[in-house]
Each structure stands twice: as structure tokens, then as C-alpha cells.
Amino acid sequence: MTKEIIRTDLAPQAIGTYSQAVRVGDTVYLSGQIPLLPDTMELVDGDMAVQIRRVFDNLQAVARAAGGTLADVVKLNVYLTDLGHFPLVNQVMAEYIAEPYPARAAVGVAALPKGAKVEMDAVMCLTS
């Protein structure tokens, strides 16, 4: 098994012992993204919609660095500190990903890194 580490300056750098993404064959595992600005590594200012968009922008940057797009995502995991924001995730997601939608899970969590209110990770499938 050969692992290719994916890295881009267009998404936040890892804040721990992990890679932005890892490709194995045609599968790319995208690490969790919170609404950090890549250039400052600070949380984006703005309402929840702005934060969710920043997360999708970060995921999109990593997907592109791996040679894909968000259209190639087959599984998306969403972590929210307030599940009341779930309808807003659906609304913003539709701006970034068209049908057919990936499989998805949404989980309510007590806390996220850096005090973020939303985090997402994904699995992407690419054709060789």
C-alpha cells in the first residue's frame, strides 16, 4: 500500500499530528476542517453560514490539491456543537455539492478544536 500525502497552502495547515489528506489508490481521506483562514490560522469572523462556507472552501482546496473536487466526495461527516445549525449546513452544502449527494453523517458534539462550531471531514473517490 502506497500512501500519498496531500498538502496545500490554500487550506489551513494541520494543527496536530495529521496530514491534510492522504491518498491510497483512488481513495482520498480528507482530514477534518474547521473554519480556519489558511493565511492566519484564525477562525473566520462571521455568522454560522460564513463559518460553514469556510469549512467547505477548506475542504475544496484540499480536494483540488488531491486532483479532485467536492463532486468526487462519496462520504461527508459533519460535526456540530449545535444541531440547530443542521438546516443551514444543508443550505450551504447545496451551494458546493450538487446531486447526486454523498453519503453523510451529522453528529452533535460537545466541543471542537479552537472553539469552532463546525467541523467536516470527507472521503473522496478519484478515477485513475
Q: Tens place of pLDDT for every residue, the chain, 128 residues? A: 799 999 999 999 998 999 999 999 999 999 999 999 999 999 999 999 999 999 999 999 999 999 999 999 999 999 999 999 999 999 999 999 999 999 999 999 999 999 999 999 999 999 85
Task: Give the H or E element holding residue 30.
Answer: strand 27-33
* pLDDT tens string 58-82: 999 999 999 999 999 999 999 999 9
Q: Which one-letter amino acid corresponds to residue 62?
A: V
Its pTM stands at 0.96
Tally the residues of the chain.
128
Give, in degrees to the nearest 5, the angle at Cα 51 between 30 and 57.
45
Please state whether 123 falls in left (phi above 0), alpha (psi between -120 and 50) or beta.
beta
Return the bridge partners of 43, or none. 36
Q: In what order do the strands lie in the sheet with 27-33?
A: 3-6, 21-24, 27-33, 118-125, 73-80, 103-108
